[in-house]
Structure 1
Amino acid sequence: MKKEEMFNYKKLTAEELKQFNDEGFLVLKGVLKPQGLEQMRKECMAAWAKEKEAFDPNKSWLQNSLLVNIHHQAPTVRDYYFDGPMVDIATQLIGPNVKGATSQLTFKMKGNTKPFGWHQDNGYGELEPYNALTTLTALDDTDRGNGCLWLIPGSHKQGQIRVQQSEEQKKSQSEIVVEADDNLAVPMEMKAGDALIFNCWMLHKSDGNYSTDRDRRILFLRYADADAIEVYNNGRPRLGKLVRGNSKFDEVKQFESDI
C-alpha cells in the first residue's frame, strides 16, 4: 500500500505555527487515513502480543505501558516515522536537519488505572538544542474515560525544569514528577487517527484508564535536531536516523536505525 493511501500529509499554516509557539501544542485531525490506521493497529498489536501480557498492578509502568523501537517490528510505523506527515511538520518546527529520536508504543490497556504524573519529555531524555518535538498518534479514540493526556497550555515557556533524583531512583527508572497546577490542565481528547504534537518542555500527564471495555493505545514518536546531544550522557550525540537534511556528527550520518 502506498504511503499516500495511508497517511494525510499537510503543511502547518501561519496560524498553526503561531499557536504552537504560543501554547506549545497542536492537535492535527485525521493524520492516519482509515487504511493506515487499520494496518498500523494490526502490526502494533502483533508486536505488543509478542512481548506483553495483561496489565499487572505489580509490574512497573515500563513493563505495563511501553514497547520501545516499535518501528523495528511494524513496517507501517517505520514508514510513518521516517517518511510520514510528522517528518514534514518536524522540519517546520525544528528546522531543515531532523533525526528520529524515539519510537515506542505508549499503551494504557483497559484495567490499567495507574496515573502518570506531570512531567516534561525532555526531563526523561534531555536533548540540546531544546527544540525536540513529541508526536502522539492515537490508535483509539482517547478521552477522559480511558486515560487521555492532559497538558497545560503555555507551560513550555518555563523551560527545562530540574528534578533531583537519587542514584537509586535513576537505576530503578522511577517516574520524574513535576509540581503543576491541575486547574490549568486541558484534556487532549482525540479521535483514532488524530495526532497531538507538543514542545519538549510541555508539562503533561495522564490519568488511569478506568474504562472496562476500551483501550487507549498511542504511538509515541519523538524528533530532534540532527545535531542534538544528550545532556545527561556527557554531551554525546543522540543517535537516530536522519529523516531530513544532514548532521555534523559522523555517528548520526552513518546510523542505521533498523539494525
Structure 2
Amino acid sequence: MKKDDLFNYRKLTKEELASYNENGFLIIKGILKQEGIDQMRKECMAAWEKEKEGFDPNKSWLQNSLLVNIHHQAPTVRDYYFEGPLIGVANQLIGPNVKGATSQLTFKMKGNTKPFGWHQDNGYGELEPYNALTTLTALDDTDRGNGCLWLIPGSHKQGQIRVEQDEAQKKSQSEIVVDADDSLAVPMEMKAGDSLIFNCWMLHKSDGNYSTDRDRRILFLRYADADAIEVYNNGKPRLGRLVSGNTRFDEVRTFEATI
C-alpha cells in the first residue's frame, strides 16, 4: 500500500506556526487516513500482545503502559516515523536537519486507572538544543473518559525544570513529577488519526482510563535536531536515524534504526 493511501501530507500554515510558538502545541487533525489507522492498530496490537499482559496494578508504569522501539515491529509505524508527514512538520518547527529520537507505544488500556503526573518530556531525556518535538498520534478517540492528555498552554516558556532524583529513583525509573497549577490545564481530546505536537518543555499529564469498554492507544514519536546531544550523558550525541538534512556527528549520519 502506498504511503499516500495511509497518511495525509501538508504544511503548517503561518497561523499554526504562530500558535505553536505562542502556546507550545498543535493538534493536526486527520494526519492518518482510515487505512493508516487500521493498519497501524493491527501492527501495534500484534506487537503489544506479544510482549504485554493485561494491566496489573502491581507493575510499574513502564511495564503497564510503554512499549519502546515499536518501529522495529510495525512496518507502517516505521514508514510513518521515517518518511511520513511528521517529517515536514519537524522541518518547519525544528529546521532542515532532523533525526528520529524515540518511538514507542503509550497505551492506557481499559482498567489502567493509574494517572501520570505533570512532567516535561525533556525531563526524561534532556536533549540540547531545546527544540525537540513530541508527537502523539491517536489510534483511538481520546477524551477525558479514557485518559486523554492534559497540558498547560504556554508552559514551555519557563524552560527546563530541574527535578532532583537520588540513585535509587533513577534505577527504578520512577516518575519525574513537577508542580503545576491544575486550574490552567486543558484536555487534549482527539479523534483517532489526529496527532498532538508539542514542545519538549511543555508541561503535561494524563489521568487514568476509567472507561469500561474503551482503550486509549497512542503512538509516541519524538524528533530532535540532527546535532542534538544528551545533556544527561556527558554531551554524547543522541543516536537516531537521520530523517532529513545532515549532521556533524558521523555516528548519527551512519546510524540505521532498521527492523
Gapped regions of structure 1 (runs ≥ 5) = none
Per the alignment, residue 238 of structure 1 pairs with 238
Per the alignment, residue 130 of structure 1 pairs with 130
Per the alignment, residue 13 of structure 1 pairs with 13
Q: What's the CA shift for 1:232?
A: 0.2
1:202-217 alignment, distance < 5 Å:
202-217=202-217
* Per-residue deviation, residues 150-196 of structure 1 (Å, max 9, x unmatched): 00000000000000101100010000000000000000000000000
Distance across 2 between alignment mates of 1:16 and 1:104: 26
* Per-residue deviation, residues 197-223 of structure 1 (Å, max 9, x unmatched): 000000000000000000000000000
Per the alignment, residue 139 of structure 2 pairs with 139
Distance across 2 between alignment mates of 1:85 and 1:244: 12
Q: What's the CA shift for 1:258?
A: 1.5
Q: Which secondary structure state, in structure 1, belongs to the residue aligned with residue 11 of structure 2?
A: coil
1:1-259 alignment, distance < 5 Å:
1-258=1-258
Distance across 1 between alignment mates of 2:184 and 2:23: 12
Q: What's the CA shift for 1:70?
A: 0.2
Distance across 1 between alignment mates of 2:13 and 2:30: 16
Distance across 1 between alignment mates of 2:231 and 2:219: 25
Q: What's the CA shift for 1:92?
A: 0.3
TM-score computed with the length of structure 2 as normaliser: 1.00
Equivalent residues, number: 259
Q: What's the CA shift for 1:136?
A: 0.2
Distance across 1 between alignment mates of 2:32 and 2:13: 19
Q: Which secondary structure state, in structure 2, belongs to the residue aligned with residue 76 of structure 1?
A: helix
Question: How well do the aligned residues superpose, as a CA RMSD in angstroms?
Answer: 0.5
Q: Which secondary structure state, in structure 2, belongs to the residue aligned with residue 146 of structure 1?
A: coil
Q: Which secondary structure state, in structure 2, belongs to the residue aligned with residue 193 of structure 1?
A: coil
Letter in 2 for 1:89: V
Q: Which secondary structure state, in structure 1, belongs to the residue aligned with residue 118 of structure 2?
A: strand
Letter in 1 for 2:71: H
Distance across 2 between alignment mates of 1:249 and 1:30: 35
Distance across 2 between alignment mates of 1:198 and 1:254: 28
* Per-residue deviation, residues 122-158 of structure 1 (Å, max 9, x unmatched): 0000000000000000000000000000000000000
Distance across 1 between alignment mates of 2:258 and 2:63: 23
Letter in 2 for 1:233: N
Q: Which secondary structure state, in structure 1, belongs to the residue aligned with residue 136 of structure 2?
A: strand
Distance across 1 between alignment mates of 2:10 and 2:198: 17
Distance across 1 between alignment mates of 2:119 and 2:163: 10
Letter in 1 for 2:39: Q
Percent identical residues: 85
* Per-residue deviation, residues 91-139 of structure 1 (Å, max 9, x unmatched): 0000000000000000000000000000000000000000000000000
Q: Which secondary structure state, in structure 1, belongs to the residue aligned with residue 88 of structure 2?
A: helix
